[in-house]
Amino acid sequence: MSSRGSGGRAPRASRAARTPKPGTSGGPFANQAKHRLISSEPKRVKLRADEAEENFRAVHDPEGTRLQKVLASAGVASRRVSENLIAEGRVMIDGRTVIEPGVRVVPEQVTIHVDGIRLNLDVEHQYAVLNKPAGVMTTMSDPEGRRCVGDFLTPEQQKLRLFHVGRLDFETEGLLLLTNDGDLAHQLTHPSYEVPKTYLAELRGNLPRKAEAQLRAGIELEDGPIVVDDFHHMGSNGGRTLVQLTLHSGRNRIVRRIFEHFGAPVARLVRTAVGGIAIGDQAQGTVRELTSREVGHLRDLVSDQPNEQGGTR
């Protein structure tokens, strides 16, 4: 169903919230509540004594590190607060709830969730996001001297040997992940994992009334069918239309080709999110480090078995 209001004038596409220009704030989701690692209303779990003992034996490694120390090192909370989180049943190791602070684990060998949020226990790799402006090459350097991703990194960040995860077209703006974790980057860009990506697109012209239904059902492009995961019509005015769509395909220029199919070419395109990682009010041309929660979310995106059919459904 379209997200247009039931009454009143449709919002002007030219006035819709968008990714901020360099040096400014505000963005497509500027009013979005800030995420916190620990839920304000956590769901506490009560285990029977035999369940607690079974879970303890299943995950405990006497040669490992105390769980509360692992949580503190991951930036969850102090060791004392972490002990409370464990006792309240808010911590899971490899899918098992543990309530015994004495449990020890080898961080590199387990998956830990707190309040359902996966922790990033990888201290070796670095993860960041660039809000890419238009007119920037998605390369770390350019022999022709054009602006590229590497131009936005500090000398310290360049020493970390970060590289971009996937690509954005020269004129496409928005969220571009950066990391030196090759394995995670490969999984996030592989079509079989179907990682969702969200875009705001300003179109020249109006979409046909049936466009949304056709996109949800699937349309045929020259390189095969494409289906959107989600779609919202944000407003139209003066021959311009603003839409938001989510899809998991990483095919070349896929968003632009979708709207060319409907005779409404893209005038401006902004990637606002990859999975649950949103650009928010991050100013264009800036790089920020991902939080432990955000990195954990990325790992959860690719933790399931990949879809052997690939990313186009």
> Quick one: three-class SS letters along 43-110?
CCCCCCHHHHHHHHHHHCCCCCEEHHHHHHHCCCCCHHHHHHHHHCCCEEECCEECCCCCCEECHHHC
pLDDT at 79: 83
Could you read off the pLDDT of 17-40 as tens digits, one per residue? 344 444 444 444 333 333 334 444
For residues 265 and 146, state if they share a domain: yes
For residues 79 and 205, state if they share a domain: no
State the residue range of the domain holding 79. Answer: 49-118
Residue 283: pLDDT band (50, 70, 90) is very high
pLDDT at 227 over 50: yes
For residues 254 and 187, state if they share a domain: yes
pLDDT at 160: 86
Q: Of 116, 104, 109, whose CA–CA distance to 70 is shortest?
A: 104
Active centre residues (catalytic): 169
- Rounded to whole angstroms, the Cα distance separating 93 from 79 reads 17
Buried b (16+ CB within 10 A) or exposed e, 127-160: bbbbbbbbebbbebeeeeeeebbbebbeeebeee
Q: Of 27, 47, 21, 18, whose CA–CA distance to 235 is shortest?
A: 18
Residues 6+ apart with CB under 8 A from 36: none
pLDDT at 43 over 50: yes
For residues 80 and 203, state if they share a domain: no
Residue 15: pLDDT band (50, 70, 90) is very low
Q: How confident is the prediction for the chain on average, in pLDDT? A: 83
For residues 229 and 89, state if they share a domain: no
* Token pair belonging to 289: 């480090």
pLDDT at 56: 93
pLDDT at 23: 45
* Arithmetic mean of pLDDT, 181-200: 92
Per DSSP bridges, beta strands 224-226 and 230-237 are unpaired
Taking a C-beta distance cutoff of 8 angstroms, is the pair 126, 162 a contact? Answer: yes
**Whole-prediction pTM:** 0.68
Domain-located, residue 4: no
* Arithmetic mean of pLDDT, 246-270: 94
Could you read off the pLDDT of 118-130 as tens digits, one per residue? 887 766 789 999 9
pLDDT at 312 over 70: no
CA 308 to chain centre: 22
Taking a C-beta distance cutoff of 8 angstroms, is the pair 175, 277 a contact? Answer: yes
Instruction: Tell me the Cα Rg of the chain.
Output: 22
For residues 114 and 141, state if they share a domain: no
